[in-house]
Amino acid sequence: MTPFVHIAMFGILFLSVYLFGKYPARTAAVAVVVIGWLFLPASQTAIYSIPGIPFHMKTNALCLAVLLGMAVKDPGVFQKFRFHWIDIPMACWCLAPFLSSVSNGLGPYDGAGAALPMAVDWGIPYLTGRLYFGTYDGLKELGLGMFIGALVIAPLALIEMVISPQFHIMLYGYYPHDFSQTKRGFGYRPSVFMKHGLELAIYNASAVVMGWVLFLRKSVQRVVPLLNIPLLPAVLGLSAILVISRSSGALMLCLLGLGLFQAAVMLRMKIPLLVLVILPLAYMNLRATGAWDGQNLIEASKKLTGNEERVGSLSFRLFNENLLVEKARLRPVFGWAGYQRSFVTDENGRFISVPDGMWILTLGKNGLFGLSALGASILLAPFLFFWKTPSRRLGDPLVAPATAFAICLCIFMADSLFNAFYNPFLMMAAGGLSSLLISPSAFSATGVDDAAPAAAPGLMPATRVI
């Protein structure tokens, strides 16, 4: 580990305060997330003993940096927040670790220690979205930030495809995952400063969805802001990087999201997008209850791909999921809490289960309560957005970035069925969509403008918080 780890982890805090002081708060929040998510060191190698503050992962540092910038340079924004029923899923998700610990006899102190990082990593980005991105224009700015960030690191990803993932090692002195997993065929799967190549791939998939929607619906005219490069070549280039980055799952989810978006816009029907919400929920429900063992999925994979390696990987994942589901059903409500208690062991105490998906990790750790909260915190806003938005408006230049984020949240949840990664942009988007959904004017007959609505009981102007 090099000194740059410490410089980056603490430097993002000072940088955030500077940016919030120099630029509009919404712009500063986007900039901090772009810089922090793309360039902070991955994993939890740097552990700092700061009483009561989780500060050992890039997600901790990034989210605390945003909160610090807001608290120092825009403290009045917190007074404008009003809790709404739409915030209940995120509140439950942040509370789930506490309830799991207490229900397992680990005590409230352990529960608080587990809940605090959850509140930092998930609650702060969601709150930031509620405060700053609750308008169509705000979500467009956030989407542009995500897209521009992907373009910035695209050259580094191309280099790593040839020389292998080296930038994290060169700058921070270590690789945050199993390096053997980077080799793919005759090249390498890039990860740049993320903990795994799959995490970068699903981020790029979301950025590609956003880029194509911005281009196709003319939400951005011709040139990428800030970078001042033509939009279409930028979208094509990023799409090509996603294709050659050797992450077929992220690519398929990207194509699925774009295809269903185009179908919904051309047919003026919401059904394709509502299906995108329902599919992950159906999978989790059927698997968690033991109603489906997944064998049909393996057979379908054999017919579609014919790739024995991928079919074997899927079979291995589903086999382990079945083991973990069986144990999770012994404590169905709040799960087994932390310390890998939800994992399956043999008679000698050795682990014989390998969990991959975020959903199965959540089911085992936090039970059906936590899994329901996770699913709702990610998918409730997209579902309500698709439901409330008139079909003819889903592709409007002003509305399209919000539609793209709703799609990205759905493909993120679908990816979480098989992987366990994170994306702060999407957590902010979930908060922004939630604010948009309870805006008095956002879904009115003429409400395609981005003007702040009049305040109502329990509501605040859309430019700040709903």
**Per-residue pLDDT reduced to its tens digit, 230-287:** 999 999 999 999 999 988 889 999 999 999 999 999 999 999 999 999 999 999 999 9
d(CA 98, CA 112): 6
Cβ neighbours around 310 below 10 Å, total = 15
3-state secondary structure of 351: strand
Encoded tokens for 236: 């094509």
pLDDT over 60 at 447, yes or no: no
Quote the pLDDT of residue 464. Answer: 35
Residues 6+ apart with CB under 8 A from 253: 202, 205, 411, 414, 415
Quote the pLDDT of residue 253. Answer: 95
Quote the pLDDT of residue 455. Answer: 31
pLDDT over 50 at 418, yes or no: yes
User: By C-alpha distance, which of 216, 224, 214, 248 is closest to 149?
Assistant: 224
Amino acid present at 355: P
d(CA 108, CA 118): 15
Per the CB < 8 A criterion, the answer to whether 343 and 325 are in contact is no
Amino acid present at 71: A
- The string of DSSP codes covering 29-86 is HHHHHHHHHHHSPPSS------TT---SSHHHHHHHHHHHHHHHH-GGGGGG----GG
Quote the pLDDT of residue 33. Answer: 97
The pTM score is 0.92
Residue 318 φ/ψ, nearest 5 degrees: -65, -35
d(CA 6, CA 4): 5
Where do the domains of the chain lie? 3-283+362-437
- The string of DSSP codes covering 132-175 is H--SHHHHHHHHHHHHHHHHHHHHHHHHHHHH-S-HHHHHHSS-
